[in-house]
Amino acid sequence: MGFFSRKKDMDAALASSREMMQKSLETLDQLQAQLQEQQATIEAQKAELEATKADCERYREEAKRYRTEANNALKGARAAAAAASLPEQKKAWVTEGIPTLPNPCNTYDAGENAYLLYHDKSNRSEFDNYCTALENAGFTKHCTEEMGLGIHSFYFDRKAVISVSFSQHDQVLRAVVEPVGDTKLAPLGTICDGTPDSAKPCFVQMNDHLNDVVDCGMSYIFRLSDNSFILMDGGWDTEPIADALYNKLRALAGEGDIIISAWFFTHAHVDHIGAFYPFARKYGDKVTLKRVIYNYPGESRITEMGDEFVRGYVRNFRRTLALFGDVDVIKARTGQRFHFQGLDLDQLFTYEDYMMPRPLRTFNDTSLALLIKTADETFFFPGDASETMSGILVRKYGEGLKSDIIQVAHHGYGGGTKELYDTAKAPIVFWPVPADHPKTGAPRYSNPEWSPITREMIRDHATVVYPQCEGTKTFLLPVRDGKEI
């Protein structure tokens, strides 16, 4: 009985196992069927994805084509608008009795009532011949200056001022013509607007409120030995910035009057020119502004770039300037030299140096570039120099750009090139930049990887760097002594 009982149990267990195996096989078949179904679904999804990718690529190409067409249409519309504005401007242009350049000669809008005569593939003989033609036409030579590979002569008669230039680096002969009532010529000899030897010369990089609104802005001050001031730009269009600028001038002037011997504006971007407007409204009657030096592009060029925001500041500049009373306007032209008390300034670049039969690509191409020599130190201010402008400066001046002190171009946002910085080789760097963006908090100076070309310049050439975000810095000259006040 025991044997048969065990056999019966074993048969039952075997039957149970067979039943379980059958169920497992059925489950496996079901899983295989599900897997095949899922694979079919995946293949369908892959096919759908490929079709979607093809659609996306087609849409991307169509969008690219539409964007290109729209940009071309916009450029065409701007060029047409610029061309349409020229006849109206030409009504005010001085043309009678002005000798023409050799052919081919083109005419371009050069801001306000000025125009540029341009002759490509020229030479020094054609420059000399044109200067002779001006003298034969009754024009008086004001001066001739040679800078780098360029030569620059300035002429005037009772109607017009003409700035003539030629440079070997691009072999272009240029002549800027403007009504004599619109500009003064750069004074010959030394300018003294204060009391000689009444102050210790100093240099200021402003910071107060300069980056409350945006992550750019530039404001510099030189106090001269006659206790007058040279200002460069000023910063954004806010009252706190204007107040800080006035308060700094007031403190540096001591008991004396605030005399601004010259206010240079590198270009008309609001983070450079903006503070001028609240400063004029609030303090125009509290300071003496002797001269203002600038060069803004004309209506047609601004139209060409599509910068409506800039247009308003440019249009209102002369009206705002009137709040200071009688001020000499000197339109900046390449080749000008200014001799202040203990400070010499060379005008290295104005946007006519860029202008050829092509539009301005960026408003930063309209920046001035200045070389200043004072207290046995050379300061190089490239403003918001673009890559194109940097290349022109290097080709024209070469080793003449070697400096003791440099202002970082375009706040470190590109523009200043490695070639430019390697040519200047400045050991002292002033960097008009905030630590972080005031609104987004995105790191600027605080990020050691930001602005790589500037960082490389600092690594290769600098011994000391003064970023704007570290606060307003005021140095007795020479700066290399590091004596802050």
Whether 98 maps to a domain, the answer reads: no
Lowest pLDDT segment from 295-299, 317-321, 357-361? 357-361
Is residue 81 over pLDDT 80? no
pLDDT value for 3:
62
% of the chain beyond a pLDDT of 90: 72
pLDDT value for 87:
57
Is residue 53 over pLDDT 60? yes
Which residues are CB-neighbours of 113 under 8 A, at least 6 positions away?
A: 89, 92, 93, 94, 178, 179, 182
Whether 439 maps to a domain, the answer reads: yes
User: Based on the domain organization, do 59 and 121 belong to the same domain?
Assistant: no
Is residue 79 over pLDDT 70? no
pLDDT value for 80:
59
Whether 359 maps to a domain, the answer reads: yes
User: Based on the domain organization, do 163 and 312 belong to the same domain?
Assistant: no
Strand partners, 431: 467
pLDDT value for 439:
92
Whether 357 maps to a domain, the answer reads: yes
Residue 353 near residue 150 (C-beta atoms within 8 A) = no
- Final residue belonging to a domain, choices 124, 155, 179: 179
pTM of the model: 0.83
The pLDDT of 20-45, averaged and rounded, is 80
The pLDDT of 457-477, averaged and rounded, is 98
User: Based on the domain organization, do 306 and 195 belong to the same domain?
Assistant: yes
Distance, CA of 41 to chain centre: 56
pLDDT in tens, 366-412: 999 999 999 999 999 999 999 999 999 999 999 999 999 999 999 99
pLDDT value for 450:
97
Q: In what order do the strands lie in the sheet with 106-109?
A: 106-109, 115-119, 172-179, 160-167, 150-156, 140-147
The range of the structural domain enclosing residue 307 comes to: 190-481
Distance CA 278, CA 8 (A): 108
pLDDT value for 259:
98
User: CB atoms < 10 A from the CB of 448, how many?
Assistant: 9
- Final residue belonging to a domain, choices 179, 203, 234: 179
User: Based on the domain organization, do 300 and 160 belong to the same domain?
Assistant: no
Residue 446 near residue 431 (C-beta atoms within 8 A) = no
- In 3D space, the residue among 162, 414, 369 whose CA is nearest the CA of residue 267 turns out to be 369
Is residue 185 over pLDDT 60? yes
pLDDT value for 20:
80
pLDDT value for 4:
62
pLDDT value for 404:
98
Number of domains the chain is built from: 3
Q: Quick one: pLDDT band at residue 279, thresholds 50, 70, 90?
A: very high
User: Based on the domain organization, do 2 and 51 belong to the same domain?
Assistant: yes
Q: Quick one: pLDDT band at residue 308, thresholds 50, 70, 90?
A: confident
Whether 185 maps to a domain, the answer reads: no
% of the chain beyond a pLDDT of 70: 90
pLDDT value for 1:
53
User: Based on the domain organization, do 221 and 268 belong to the same domain?
Assistant: yes
Helix axis angle for 276-283 and 239-253, nearest 10°, is: 60
pLDDT in tens, 209-264: 999 999 999 999 999 999 999 999 999 999 999 999 999 999 999 999 999 999 99
Which of the 8 DSSP states describes residue 358?
A: B
The pLDDT of 142-165, averaged and rounded, is 97
**Bigger pLDDT: 123 or 360?**
123
